[in-house]
Structure 1
């Protein structure tokens, strides 16, 4: 489906059958997210919603309330479960609202026949709101089952820039995740990250615990503010094998969170958890 404002200066393309992922985004006539072909969605999870876990689960195994569960292994090289269970689900449109300044689409997915790996019923509601210079994504998770379940939540958008080497991230963090050779979190190390983080000649698959919820992505052509309503947030940054492209991923947990408990949350029966991620564009602010 495609959302656009009256002037067509803001356009969002959402692929309902690929987890309602945001595959293209233009704000104020500037392209921020584009189709990553020839890279396949099944390999890069572009703009996918990451639930019930973000990133990886070692060997796909976890224990919860005395029981052991096995997620499907979909990162064969590292023998991990990767990026949850909804990235390839089909969402339905429950409502679209248009006004002079915005267009809002509400999308839904209900898991009523859950797999043994995560035997809990739930409903996900995504509320995309598009204006000329902003896109927000409100995610609501409702536990429909009679049992509490563990979860983390993440989002995997890739942004383009005319020159990644001349771009930078700006954020505050005092802890960085330490990974093993399989990209599984084995601990943290102290860092003093308070502002400018150059992307020049960086190959990233890194994660930081954020001390503030705002992250700035500064490029030669625009500045993008990425903000989360969740106070306890993490930032994953990944550079794919594609020029001038970077994944900037807000998450509520880290790799292997179901085992190391870093950022892990629990949702009780009939309760709902919600957060909002917001992208705000400043088109002409250069470095």
Structure 2
């Protein structure tokens, strides 16, 4: 049987999902936005932390809502009203990575069988900030199986007014040798950005796929032509499939030599202003998105 265990470590609450043979496991941090802090597949680490950095610096594996990436200077207009979000990226003066990355998510449901373990977490925003003064509920469901892990996000607008949103996920994938790893996705358009890492326009993107990461320093966003992203490493291959109709990808290589952020998103930076990928959720309506992370060992 799969198992689901509650753990407290360094003052943080976690839930651990584990396969019957103990070789595949997922650690989910309730205290830090319900994020997938570690994912091990058949004894190979696939998603990891970045050390010695801390979560408040790298947002590793955070769920990005109500906006993915950044909002320039924290300012935006919606339905004729001007709003100002707190700028938590001080050096660039941006609002960064949404509003739920540091919220405590409670366990809503869990069950396990001989074939999978499923955990659903929830957070209800009844006291919204002035920068995003809308009530909402967000649920994150993780399903661990022999094929990998699925992540489903459900958003419910509990307010009396519509609100704008994009949604993303910020996992860091690890490789035994990133220079010998490959990215594979379908795109003909990348996004230009300014000194604040804010989208300013687009450019043609021409790259033969798959491309070898080598020593590339990446911090780039792309418009995807389908819903599939592949990452090929010496130890494992991963396919990320999104249920979203419109898909974007952010790639980022931190200073760690064998780590890469592969971020599926439904919009790009400053989406509240440039409207790229932006959606509107009406009062009492809901939205669901699933990322299916399928792994095969090499």
Take 2:287 and 2:153, find their aligned partners in 1: how far apart are those partners?
8
Take 1:74 and 1:16, find their aligned partners in 2: how far apart are those partners?
21
CA shift, 1:34, in A, is 2.2
- Mapped contact 1:171–1:193 kept (Cα < 8 A): no
Take 2:183 and 2:48, find their aligned partners in 1: how far apart are those partners?
20
Residue by residue over 1:175-219, the C-alpha shift from the partner in whole angstroms, topping out at 9 and shown as x without a partner, is 100101111101111123462122111111100000011111011
Asked whether 1:12 is paired with 2:26, we answer yes
Take 1:63 and 1:34, find their aligned partners in 2: how far apart are those partners?
36
Take 2:208 and 2:122, find their aligned partners in 1: how far apart are those partners?
38
For normalisation by structure 1, the TM-score amounts to 0.97
CA shift, 1:76, in A, is 1.0
Q: Which residue of 1 aligns with 2:63?
A: 49
Take 2:266 and 2:207, find their aligned partners in 1: how far apart are those partners?
19
For normalisation by structure 2, the TM-score amounts to 0.94
Within the candidate set 112, 115, 118, 1:101 is matched to 115
Asked whether 1:39 is paired with 2:53, we answer yes
Cα 1:142–1:193 change in 2 (3 A) is farther
Asked whether 1:69 is paired with 2:103, we answer no
Asked whether 1:152 is paired with 2:166, we answer yes
CA shift, 1:6, in A, is 1.3
Q: Which residue of 2 aligns with 1:121?
A: 135
Which secondary structure does the structure 2 equivalent of 1:192 belong to? coil
273-282 or 26-35: bigger deviation: 26-35
191-200 or 180-189: bigger deviation: 191-200
Take 1:7 and 1:201, find their aligned partners in 2: how far apart are those partners?
36
Q: Which residue of 1 aligns with 2:280?
A: 266
Q: Which residue of 1 aligns with 2:124?
A: 110
Take 1:91 and 1:224, find their aligned partners in 2: how far apart are those partners?
27
Q: Which residue of 1 aligns with 2:195?
A: 181
When the two structures are aligned, how many residues end up with a matched partner? 284
Take 2:105 and 2:29, find their aligned partners in 1: how far apart are those partners?
9
Take 2:34 and 2:50, find their aligned partners in 1: how far apart are those partners?
16
Asked whether 1:59 is paired with 2:103, we answer no
Which secondary structure does the structure 2 equivalent of 1:43 belong to? helix
- Mapped contact 1:138–1:277 kept (Cα < 8 A): yes
Take 2:49 and 2:262, find their aligned partners in 1: how far apart are those partners?
16
Which secondary structure does the structure 2 equivalent of 1:137 belong to? strand
CA shift, 1:242, in A, is 1.1
Asked whether 1:276 is paired with 2:290, we answer yes
Structure 1 segments unaligned to the other structure (5+ residues) = none
- Mapped contact 1:50–1:87 kept (Cα < 8 A): yes
81-90 or 190-199: bigger deviation: 190-199
